[in-house]
């Protein structure tokens, strides 16, 4: 059965481009297009499409205004926003995700010809198909792979490392609003986002939560009740330095697909694994799996967001299936456990 897509964009160039590229895919069907949110609503009501590609800046009803109206009409429709690589674009993206958008894709600058159009096509198809339900496998969940002594360690940790992607901003908001500023440990987060977006995310979360939430900077010592968001486009690590633990922020290897990468953060914490709580949350792909496996083997304690609570059950799926995870909870349950284990 084909995935139905509705395109909502005031740019005729984009409407034509998107319809052309998506109509060529055997598993997708463009059911309709609209030039603004007001015109989109009756189409949403009629088709109840699985995917809605939604622009921000449109006449009569813009994307931000349209999101809650769309969700009222068709709660199960997945909304993918178009964003821009600007501070304003990042602010609007975070606001859209808070209002109910499920994902976003950044619009390239300039024309849609050649490599630019092909790149946008590949990214869009990946994001759209990530929402397609995955049939449950018959592979049984294995028993956790535990390091010697893991059963006997105390559940008190200095660090909590978190990996998250699609569906992350609203999940992080729920998470941190339920963790008090009395915790004694530090939290480090890799959220898959471009540069500028992570700074805006940290700023927004810091305004809404009791914890101190900042975009990470190179060379700082992690403080209690602080959350450090990895900067988009770079890599964040934990590092031993002069008998202290510091945060290292560095340029990413161009060959690395995820910038920032959950695996890179998780692997960097191996030296302090027994002081580390690792959490894998909603997101497409498998970034974080290898890091979870290594941390488990070195004595870290692992938790995952439960499937029914994830926007996309990609990143937690394999660690859970392979028995690496010690506990599975919805976001509020994860917050309760993090509070307990970092206190």
Which sequence positions are flagged as catalytic? 165, 192, 287
Site of tokens 């949110």: 37
Start-end of H helices in 24-143: 37-47, 63-73, 87-99, 114-130
What residues does 28 pair with on adjacent strands? 3
3-state secondary structure of 177: coil
Burial class (CB in 10 A: 0-12, 13-18, 19+), 69: middle
Residues in contact with 292: Cβ distance below 8 Å, sequence separation at least 6, in sequence order: 266, 278, 280, 302, 319, 324, 325
Task: Please spell the DSSP secondary structure of 109-156, one letter per residue.
Answer: SS---HHHHHHHHHHHHHHHHHTSPPPPP-PPPPPP---TTGGGS-S-
What are residue 82's phi and psi, to 5 degrees? -95, 130
Tell me how far apart the alpha carbons of residues 101 and 54 are, in angstroms, rounded to a whole number: 9
């Amino acid at each position: 059965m084909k995935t139905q897509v509705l395109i909502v964009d005031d740019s005729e160039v984009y409407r034509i481009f998107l319809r052309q590229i998506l109509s060529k895919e055997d598993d997708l069907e463009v059911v309709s297009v609209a030039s603004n949110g007001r015109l989109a609503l009756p189409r949403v009501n009629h088709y109840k499409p699985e995917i809605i590609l939604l622009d921000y800046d449109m006449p009569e009803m813009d994307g931000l205004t349209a999101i809650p109206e769309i969700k009222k009409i068709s709660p199960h429709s997945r909304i993918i926003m178009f964003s821009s690589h600007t501070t304003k674009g990042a602010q609007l993206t975070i606001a859209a995700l808070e209002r109910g958008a499920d994902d976003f894709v950044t619009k390239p600058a300039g024309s849609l010809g050649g490599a630019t159009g092909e790149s946008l096509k590949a990214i869009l198809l990946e994001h759209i198909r990530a929402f397609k339900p995955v049939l449950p496998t018959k592979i049984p969940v294995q028993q956790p792979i535990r390091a010697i002594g893991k059963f006997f360690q105390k559940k008190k940790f200095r660090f909590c490392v978190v990996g998250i992607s699609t569906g992350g901003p609203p999940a992080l908001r729920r998470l941190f609003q339920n963790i008090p500023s009395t915790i004694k440990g530090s939290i480090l987060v890799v959220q898959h986002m471009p540069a500028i977006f992570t700074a805006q995310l940290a700023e927004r979360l810091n305004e809404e939560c009791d914890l101190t939430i900042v975009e990470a900077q190179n060379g700082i010592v992690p403080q209690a009740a602080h959350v450090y968001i990895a900067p988009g486009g770079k890599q964040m690590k934990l590092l031993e330095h002069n008998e202290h633990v510091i945060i290292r922020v560095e340029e990413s290897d161009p060959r690395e697909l995820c910038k920032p990468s959950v695996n890179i953060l998780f692997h960097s914490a191996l030296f302090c694994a027994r002081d580390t709580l690792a959490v894998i949350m909603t997101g497409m792909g498998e970034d974080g799996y290898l890091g979870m496996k290594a941390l488990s083997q070195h004595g870290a304690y692992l938790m995952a967001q439960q499937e029914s609570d994830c926007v996309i059950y990609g990143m937690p799926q394999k660690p859970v299936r392979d028995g690496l995870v010690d506990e599975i909870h919805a976001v509020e349950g994860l917050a309760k456990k993090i509070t307990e284990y970092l206190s």
